[in-house]
Each structure stands twice: as structure tokens, then as C-alpha cells.
Amino acid sequence: MLDIKFVRENPEVVKENIRKKFQDVKLPLVDEVLELDKENRAIKQEVEALRAQRNKLSKMIGGLMAKGEKEEAEKVKAEIAADAARTEELTAKEKEVEERIKVIMMTIPNIIDPSVPIGKDDSENVEVQKYGEPVVPDYEIPYHTDIMETFDGIDLDSARKVAGNGFYYLMGDIARLHSAVLTYARDFMIDRGFKYCIPPFMIRANVVTGVMSFAEMENMMYKIEGEDLYLIGTSEHSMIGKFIDTMNKAEDLPQCLTSYSPCFRKEKGAHGIEERGVYRIHQFEKQEMIVVCNPDESPMWYDKLWQNTVDLFRTMDIPVRTLECCSGDLADLKVKSVDVEAWSPRQKKYFEIGSCSNLGDAQARRLGIRVQNAEGKKYFAHTLNNTVAAPPRMLIAFLENNLQADGTVKIPEVLWPYMGGTKVLVPSKKK
């Protein structure tokens, strides 16, 4: 969310930013919010003047009564009552105007970084760099659920009966591999100086609207009926929420956390064959990382965060690439974002396995996450987040890149301790 003062002083900058994000339908909101802001300031000035007048008149009553000028005193009382009624009317109007301003300000997108490529959607995202050599073996790579089934590792039919589409049972070695990846990802981030955290898996509405845009909220979040609670779509939500309404000392930043959580998402709409199985699902588990830092440090932390994911995947010999998200693919709160994609030997292309974002002070402004430096200056923190590993998609990349011609799956050395020393997974049945 932008500062209303910034919008007031830079309306054309805000409008041009909206155009760069191909959201021209939002252009009238800028003029509307400026008119509302003008009205709001006028209301505040009138209310302040009325209160000052009331204080002045209240002091007059005692003097008039002391002089025996009761009639004049009653006139003053009537004037005070009229001013009080007007103040009450204006206060109600002020609340109404401020609520509308808040809604608009939470709809106007954040100012994107100048380095962000301009494009309408994810088809115009820009490849930055590849890490590792993508390989297409001379034997067939089956669909990921078919690979899992050779290990008796997945049961989608039972999950459909129990919970519906978009859910799964992971079994045996595949379930163990899933947990091993999460545990390894946790330790990987702890070794990089991040504090481990297990956060709440449900959050209140004010935290939801603080960490994400209305569009994201509608498309992602599950609401708990009868409660002011939502199931989290990612632990970033509750970890950033941890700092709500706080004043942090500049010297205590950055706060670097890595967290485990289940994640719940609506995932509306129909999806192609490659997004079935466990690629796009309603429930999954994830290791996440977030940083709350001073504004001047956020570009540096942005680069560190996505590099962590690249490094993690490369320790498991999975080729990856980074993809700079274009303006039209950025969620409204984001300043800059990069996707990390893993190589799929089956599809002969890369697919998304994580996303790193710098949100500037947008989340901090919504949630009241402030900082005070040694000189006493107060300002909003910057927040960043990135996926460490989300095993359902991670499992797809892992299985495809480590599947051998005989149907076995090799386990990279870094995972041996987490798999009880197992170095190779052997199928229990043939497809």
C-alpha cells in the first residue's frame, strides 16, 4: 500500500505505474482517492475548528452565569449543542471517507522497481540465468504420479473419496522422501543463519488483508465459517503477521526467519494435464523464508533469498533457472519478484518451484511494522519472502531428475542422513 502523501505529490507516477502493470481500469481510482483525501483533510480542519470553538464557548458560560446573564449563557449552550451535532455528523462522514480511501489505497498497486521488465503476463517473464546442465535421458521419464505408483507411494483415488480432487495420500518411501526434503531444507536455512519457526496455520482477516491483495485473497484463501480466521496459503502470511503493530529498533534488524507449515489454497480454475497429480493442489507443505529489514538493505536480501533456493536445489543436482517476473505478472504489493524454476526432463522445459519477492514497505504499512533508528527517526520496514522448498513440486523435479533407466531413484548424498542412509529407492512394482 502506498503512502497517501506520495500519491498526492506524485499522481502521474502512480498512474504510469498502473499503466505499466496493464491495469488501466484502476486509473480513475487515483483521481477518486485524491478527491477523497482533499475532502478528508477539509473535514478534519472543520472538526478541529469546531472543537476549538467549543472549548472557547464552554469557558464563556461560567463567566456569563457569574454575571447573571443566564439568557446569553443559554444561547451559548445552544451554539455548543449545534456544534456538537455538526461535529458528530462530520466524524461519521470522516470515518466513511477514510474507509473508502483505505479500500482504494489497498487496490492501487505498489510502485514496481525500475529494473522490472514491462510485460502483460507470465509469458513475457525474462530468463536471467541457468544453473546446472538440463539433461534429457535416452529413456522415457513417466508422468510423476506414475513414478510414485511404482513405489506404491501415492493414492489419489482414496484421497478423492476422503477430501475430493486436489488432495493426495503419500505413502512409504515417497512420503519419507517428502519429509526428508522438508527437514533438509529446514537445516539448510538454519545453517544460513535463519531462525526456525513453526507459525500459526490460521490467521485473522486483518493479517490476511495486510499481507496480500484482495484479488489474491479471493483466489487463494479458505475462510473458517463462523470465525474471524483463514487457513494460511503460505507461512509467509503468519510470519510477517508476527510483527504486526510493532516498533522495531533499527539495530535489531534484519529479522530472518524460516518456517515450516502446511498450506491451503483454493487453486480456482481448470488446469492442464501437467498440472494434475500433485503439481497444483489444495493442500501441501512448505519450508519458507522471510526477512524484515531496513529499507536500504532489501535489495541485498532479495538477491540472497533467491540464491538460497538455487543453492538448495543444486545440492541435489537439480538444474534450475531464475526468471524475472514482468510488470503484469507481479501481484499488486510486489516491488520485484523472481521465480525459480526446475528442469523437467519429461516436459523438456522448466517449471516453477518457488518465488522470491521484495514487497518494499507495502505489507509493513498495512500491518503497522515500523522501525526507529538511533536518531529517533521512525519509518516502515521492508519485507521479503521466498520459497525454500515445497515438496509436492519439489518431488516432481526430484523424481524426474533422479530417475534411472531401471526405474530406481538415486538419493543425493545430502539427503542420505534424512533417509536413514538409503541411497537408492527401488520400485516395489512395475507399471
What pLDDT, in 10s, does the model give residues 167-202? 999 999 999 999 999 999 999 999 999 999 999 999
Q: What is the mean pLDDT of the segment spanning 408-424?
A: 97
Please name which of 325, 337, 331, 344 lies closest in space to residue 393, comparing C-alpha atoms: 344
Asked if residue 312 and residue 250 are part of one domain, the reply reads yes
Asked if residue 187 and residue 68 are part of one domain, the reply reads no
- 430 confidence band (pLDDT: 50, 70, 90): low
Tell me, yes or no, whether 230 lies in a domain: yes
Between CA 362 and CA 369 the distance in angstroms is 10
- What residue numbers bound the domain in which 98 lies? 4-105
- 271 confidence band (pLDDT: 50, 70, 90): very low
pLDDT of residue 274: 46
pLDDT of residue 270: 45
Asked if residue 156 and residue 85 are part of one domain, the reply reads no
**pLDDT greater at residue 202 or residue 52:** 202
The amino acid at 73? A
Asked if residue 382 and residue 302 are part of one domain, the reply reads yes
Asked if residue 169 and residue 99 are part of one domain, the reply reads no
Asked if residue 153 and residue 101 are part of one domain, the reply reads no
CB atoms within 10 A of CB 278: 23
- What mean pLDDT is reported for the chain? 93
Asked if residue 135 and residue 44 are part of one domain, the reply reads no
pLDDT of residue 399: 97
The amino acid at 26? K
Asked if residue 208 and residue 349 are part of one domain, the reply reads yes
Contact 22, 124 (CB under 8 A): no
Between CA 42 and CA 72 the distance in angstroms is 31
Q: Is the pTM of this model over 0.85?
A: yes
Q: Over the stretch 107-147, which tens digit does the pLDDT of each residue have?
A: 999 999 999 999 999 999 999 999 999 999 999 999 999 99
Lowest mean pLDDT among 54-63, 78-87, 242-251: 54-63
Tell me if the bond preceding 299 is cis, omega within 30° of 0: no
